[in-house]
Structure 1
Amino acid sequence: MTSTLRRRPAQRRSVERVERMLDECALLLDEVGYDALTTKEVARRAEVPIGTFYQFFHDKQGLVRALARRNLEAFLGRITERVATADLSHWTDLVDLAVDEFVDMKRTTPGFSVMDFGEVLVTTGGVPVEGSKQALDGTHENNAVVADRLRGLTLDLLDAPVGPGLDRALLVAVEATDAVLKLAFRTDPRGDAGLIAECKQLVHRYLADHLP
């Protein structure tokens, strides 16, 4: 993957500054939207000089890409923590858990409703901002990166057949989940409960042909 940072923070103070800038970016996405988001305002609210911003990020797009990566790591971390304490009797339980965590992040995580894993929609259901569909690594579409990361979790937890068939099935499942959950949040800003349930059933039925 290509880096979203000009340089990686090495000292604790630098790490804290980068995290503050990402925090303020997320809050501003909720408050003013992507178009009105500026590097100057992010730096001001994070209480860092604008020069410090450009030490770590190339531009606004680089900042947003870094936030997308942080969102993905947070999502995967939440799933891993839940799995460690949950009583999962079947892979469908893992599907439900992942969908529930995503929905909860949409509802509670700053900026996540505007830009979850990188794709920025200026308006609900609108056309994505150019380049944002490949925000996570600059080469592959975001859903392909998410599917690949979820594949690692799936193989760790399930006795699943390794190979291109499973890879393709997980990508299709992620694409389908993304589409239905977008519809759920267009229908209701909090996420339409009926559509969320339908999303889970859709993925259950599709993956039943690919997982034991």
Structure 2
Amino acid sequence: MVRVQRMLDACAELLDEGGYTNLSTTRIAERAGVAIGSVYQFFPDKRAITQALGLRYLDLFTARVRERLSAGGHSHWIQAADAIIDEYLEMHRTVPGFRSLHFGDVVDTRLLDSATENNRVIAARIRTLLTSVAGASESEDLDRAVTVAVEAADAVLKLAFRTEPDGDPRLIEETKILLRNYLGHHFG
């Protein structure tokens, strides 16, 4: 629905401008050009709209990573880690609101799914991409390795963006090396 998309776009813009603490349903309605009742028709509060935005980002990220992985160019699925990091960086730098919200960790560590931490939701999506597109074999070891890889990458990439607005290139490269070495140790 177009109205909902306008509200999500407005939420993204406002997050970039003032962060989550300055976000309100009233400001979202004003920016989207809709009545406040329209916001409440779909979202009970600002948390709900940021959750919808986080889920939209997760779907966009998944689709874009799937496209990158489908294009090939990887002799082994471990090399897909670089493509996943590159897509995250691209979204962080170009998608309105993503820099401020990421996948919702700024708001709530369980924003994407109330029963599961955000990074676990992301790890499950990445594991599915690795098995369905990049040729990895389903296993408990893969589940654990992807979970550790997501947690490690998340921590180092947050550091990279804390030190430089577009991400410290040296820390980004260290993230890729870390993931390739870690995954290569277990699966190479």
- TM-score band (shorter)? over 0.9
Normalising by structure 1, we get a TM-score of 0.85
Matched, 1:45 2:31: yes
The counterpart of 2:45, out of the listed 43, 59, 63, is 59
Moved more, 77-86 or 111-120: 77-86
Superimposed CA distance per residue, residues 147-195 of structure 1 (whole angstroms, 9 cap, x where no aligned partner): 0011111111344332222111110000000000001001101100000
Matched, 1:155 2:131: yes
Matched, 1:188 2:164: yes
For structure 2, the residue ranges without an aligned partner over 5 or more in a row are none
Superimposed CA distance per residue, residues 14-41 of structure 1 (whole angstroms, 9 cap, x where no aligned partner): x100000000000000111111111011
Name the structure with the higher helix share.
2
Superimposed CA distance per residue, residues 71-113 of structure 1 (whole angstroms, 9 cap, x where no aligned partner): 1111111111222334222223311111011011111111111
Q: Counterpart of 1:72 in structure 2: which amino acid?
A: L
Q: Is the 8 A contact 2:80 2:134 kept in 1?
A: no
What is the alpha-carbon root mean square deviation over aligned residues? Answer: 1.3
* Distance (Å, rounded) in 2 between the aligned partners of 1:163 and 1:118: 28
Report the 3-state secondary structure (helix = DSSP H, G, I; strand = E; otherwise coil) of the residue aligned with 1:209. helix
Q: Counterpart of 2:140 in structure 1: which amino acid?
A: P
The counterpart of 2:67, out of the listed 57, 81, 90, is 81
Matched, 1:90 2:40: no
Moved more, 80-89 or 161-170: 80-89
Which residue does the alignment assign to 2:118?
142
* Distance (Å, rounded) in 1 between the aligned partners of 2:33 and 2:71: 38
* Distance (Å, rounded) in 2 between the aligned partners of 1:163 and 1:204: 19
Q: Is the 8 A contact 1:177 1:203 kept in 2?
A: yes
Which residue does the alignment assign to 1:70?
56
How many residues matched? Answer: 188
Q: Is the 8 A contact 1:160 1:211 kept in 2?
A: no
Q: Quote how far apart the aligned CAs of 1:211 are.
A: 2.6
Q: Is the 8 A contact 2:77 2:135 kept in 1?
A: no
Q: Percent identity?
A: 49
